[in-house]
Amino acid sequence: MFQKILIANRGEIAVRIIRACREMGIVSVAVYSEADRDALHTQLADEAVCIGKAPASDSYLNMERILSAAIATKAQAIHPGFGFLSENAHFAEMCESCKIAFIGPSAAAIGKTGNKSEARAAMENAKIPVVPGTEEAVREAEEGVKAADRIGYPVIVKASLGGGGKGMRIVRSRGEFDALFRLAQQESVHAFGDGAMYIEKYVERPRHVEVQILADKYGNIVWLGERDCSIQRRHQKMIEESPCAALDEALRRRMGEAAVRAAGAVGYENAGTVEFLLDRDKNFYFMEMNARIQVEHPVTEMVTGVDLVKEQIRIAAGERLRIRQEDVRIQGHSIECRINAEDPKRDFMPCPGRVENLHFPGGNGVRVDSALYDGYTVPPYYDSMLAKVAVLGEDRAEAIRKMRSALGEVIVDGITTNLDFQYGILGHPAFLKGDIDTHFIPDHFEKERP
């Protein structure tokens, strides 16, 4: 087992990883930017190294600085958390060549999952259901329109290197194809430096259902239930839950087994997530595979009792999976709400600043992951997520009541947050019925406020 791990991240996920290290008897090394001198992760780790100025490009995205910090502190492994360098194949490769373990999949597997059109082709070969679409990358609008005509409208144009909604356009008729394809491609060139696109049949009003997997270095792969992440706004998830209320046991098993095959098809190791779209007729289709621990991992931890971050560390250290598929039991229902420093009344504009009178809920089945403390100043340079509140109830109705009770207790003075907006969603009749899809927020909250 590793004696020392460097955490190449900040905020609540850095704190989450530091705690896992401490519980495992592993020394933790934080890296921090000049804006994060007083951050909780900087204070909580056993050691901390300043790696540069506030902008992420000068610090949390600076591979040389992070590797230098790992070498200087004699860390044997790097946990990248999510965002930043977590799905950067080049960084994983640099770790390998420095003889530092990257706590995540191999550079090759990150590359395969990062190219969404290649991943899609690999899944189709592995007989995993995918939405009808193009087999190869499309770079010319003239070629694209032929494919779109074949597939049938509406179609969705996506960037091969995309994900999270960037470089994506829905095209409802042949007449608008050319202009929208070019827009999506421009966005892709700008964001990813590449104009490779793919085209799929557009699935109307799907649910976003993703399956958590764990894979060790010896080909053992298990799935740990699913998460419904349909409650999003502009591709930013707001509420996640496990299990997904739309699945029965048979469908859950089919999706889980498909996710395990997906991981096998790309030679995946460590923790990963296989994203599916679930349509209104309960057909599921592979979308993307995420090669990282995800923000919403706590809901899976709550219903399975498995500590995913500790498992990530054990897998990277070369241990065999200790969990067999038949040991995985989903118990109860978990919901997570993301608390962000943003103003729903001003188009969710970020609202950093100094936090006062901080109070978080607690009690049976209530978990708060946060890097806030009273008097902390949220810097303007990074993500606006302040905290994740997760609850575990016996069933979905109890989990919702527990979340309303928990959110009702939260006090974060000094800055504007989305707490009231979240509370509103949790009281909406459609949410209570489990009648949710990826259009839930635009459908119910885009005009009036909760």
Catalytic residues: 292
Is residue 17 close enough to count as binding ligand MV4 by CB under 6 A?
no
- Placement of tokens 């780790």 in the chain: 45
Is residue 438 close enough to count as binding ligand MV4 by CB under 6 A?
yes
Is residue 440 close enough to count as binding ligand MV4 by CB under 6 A?
no
Q: Smaller CB distance to ligand MV4: residue 201 or 217?
A: 201
Is residue 200 close enough to count as binding ligand MV4 by CB under 6 A?
yes
In the complex, what is the shortest distance from the CB of residue 202 to ligand MV4, in angstroms, rounded to a whole number?
5
Is residue 243 close enough to count as binding ligand MV4 by CB under 6 A?
no
Q: Smaller CB distance to ligand MV4: residue 50 or 170?
A: 170
In the complex, what is the shortest distance from the CB of residue 442 to ligand MV4, in angstroms, rounded to a whole number?
9
Interaction pattern, residues 82-121, with ligand MV4; x per rule: CB under 6 A: ----------------------------------------
- Crossing angle for the helix pair 107-114 and 116-125, nearest 10 degrees? 100
Is residue 206 close enough to count as binding ligand MV4 by CB under 6 A?
yes
Q: Smaller CB distance to ligand MV4: residue 94 or 123?
A: 123
Is residue 289 close enough to count as binding ligand MV4 by CB under 6 A?
no
Distance CA(119)–CA(274), nearest Å, equals: 11
Q: Which stretch binds ligand MV4 (CB under 6 A): 203-211, 215-223, 241-249, 388-396?
A: 203-211
Is residue 288 close enough to count as binding ligand MV4 by CB under 6 A?
yes
Is residue 314 close enough to count as binding ligand MV4 by CB under 6 A?
no
Is residue 59 close enough to count as binding ligand MV4 by CB under 6 A?
no
Distance CA(264)–CA(228), nearest Å, equals: 23
In the complex, what is the shortest distance from the CB of residue 164 to ligand MV4, in angstroms, rounded to a whole number?
6
Among 165, 219, 318, 380, binds ligand MV4 (CB under 6 A): 165
Instruction: Report how many residues bind ligand MV4 under the rule CB under 6 A.
Output: 17
Q: Which stretch binds ligand MV4 (CB under 6 A): 83-91, 159-167, 247-255, 309-317?
A: 159-167
Q: Which stretch binds ligand MV4 (CB under 6 A): 58-66, 196-204, 352-360, 403-411?
A: 196-204
Q: Which stretch binds ligand MV4 (CB under 6 A): 93-101, 162-170, 265-273, 296-304?
A: 162-170
Q: Which stretch binds ligand MV4 (CB under 6 A): 202-210, 297-305, 377-385, 419-427?
A: 202-210
| Burial environment of residue 383 by CB neighbours within 10 A (0 to 12, 13 to 18, 19 or more) | middle
Q: Smaller CB distance to ligand MV4: residue 83 or 163?
A: 163
Q: What is the contact surface with ligand MV4 in residues (CB under 6 A)?
A: 131, 156, 163-165, 200-203, 206, 208, 232, 235, 277, 287-288, 438
